[in-house]
Amino acid sequence: MADQDPYYAAAFAAHYDDWFPSYVTDSTVALLADLAESAGAGPVLELGSGTGRIAVPLARRGLDVHGIEGTPAMTDRLRSKPGGHAIPVTTGDFSHVPVDGEFALVYVVNGTFFELPTQEAQIRCFANTAARLGPDGLFVLDAHVPEALAAPEAAVASLPIPGGVTVRTRRINRATQQYTSHYLVHEGGTVHHVPVSFRYAATGELDLMATMAGLRLRDRYGDWRGGAYTSASTYHVSVYERPA
């Protein structure tokens, strides 16, 4: 998003893909491809297309993939990948969904939806996404369960990068439904601090936003492999559709 630290885009663009094991990317692409097929023929749109970690392999499967991304450095990374130049990417705030046409599938992954800083922006994103869906179109997003964000084991993580390491710590403000991930990026003998802010929401609030936009929950999975969502789940993948 435009209000994040500019280093976030410039430095993270080069390392972002390294933080995701191949099985995570593969399972995300596989489920999205299945959902796109179930939604019928039509293009798909990624909100926050970033480095193309998901968009590029989806396009390789023959899908007509489009993206919206607020940071040119991320799109430059997407363009550097084989097939990346064939993916149309609109620069802008994805909460406004600034593209024309209808889409069979609109998706936003890796918790990127919550980089929208306010409830107003998140509601706007749902409404504008609904306006871009075809009759059988689907809107898919993923998120941490808020209770899991606060778990002690979720507070610190070490993320590998070539020639260095990134340590992430997380601070939560329950009063404002916000958390900030603080990244300490160590490479080339230097350390850079990058804070990234999120406004989280529980599943009930997300479902209400969907209802306000004229959508309803179709499925909720516990992970991108399509596992069951249960009271023990720490993560969810939610699929919204138009009511019949």
Entry field: residues in the chain? 244
C-alpha distances in angstroms, 219 versus 15, 26, 163, 229, 238?
A: 32, 20, 41, 9, 6
The CA angle 33-35-209, to the nearest 5 degrees, is: 130
Is the pLDDT assigned to residue 52 strictly greater than 90?
Answer: yes
- The reply to whether 94 and 186 lie within a common domain is no
Average pLDDT over the chain, rounded to an integer = 90
- The reply to whether 205 and 223 lie within a common domain is yes
Is the pLDDT assigned to residue 6 strictly greater than 70?
Answer: no
pTM: 0.92
Task: Decide which of 178 and 149 is more confident.
Answer: 178
Sign of the Cα torsion 191, 195, 196, 201 reads positive
pLDDT tens, position by position, 56-100: 999 999 999 999 999 898 999 999 999 999 999 999 999 999 999
Tokens of 98: 């600034």
- The reply to whether 44 and 60 lie within a common domain is yes
Q: Nearest-CA neighbor of 170 among 151, 145, 192? A: 151
Considering its fold, how many domains does the chain have in total? 2
Is the pLDDT assigned to residue 125 strictly greater than 80?
Answer: yes
CATH number for the domain harbouring residue 117: 3.40.50.150
Which residue range forms the structural domain that includes residue 165?
148-196
Whether 235 is covered by a domain: the verdict is yes
pLDDT score, position 1: 43
When pLDDT is averaged across residues 25-31 and rounded to a whole number, the result is 96
Is the pLDDT assigned to residue 25 strictly greater than 50?
Answer: yes
When pLDDT is averaged across residues 110-129 and rounded to a whole number, the result is 96
Is the pLDDT assigned to residue 2 strictly greater than 50?
Answer: no
When pLDDT is averaged across residues 169-174 and rounded to a whole number, the result is 91
C-alpha distances in angstroms, 147 versus 84, 144, 184, 191, 233?
A: 37, 8, 24, 31, 10
Is the pLDDT assigned to residue 101 strictly greater than 70?
Answer: yes
Rg of the chain (C-alpha set): 17
pLDDT score, position 122: 98
Task: Decide which of 165 and 132 is more confident.
Answer: 132
- The reply to whether 163 and 140 lie within a common domain is no
Whether 1 is covered by a domain: the verdict is no
pLDDT score, position 156: 83
Return the H-helix or E-strand segment holding 203: helix 203-212
- The reply to whether 11 and 57 lie within a common domain is yes
- The reply to whether 168 and 98 lie within a common domain is no
- The reply to whether 80 and 170 lie within a common domain is no
- The reply to whether 69 and 168 lie within a common domain is no
Terminal-to-terminal C-alpha distance of the chain: 34
pLDDT score, position 218: 98
Is the pLDDT assigned to residue 227 strictly greater than 90?
Answer: yes
Give residue 208's pLDDT band: very low, low, confident or very high (50, 70, 90). very high
Q: Nearest-CA neighbor of 88 among 65, 54, 112, 119? A: 65
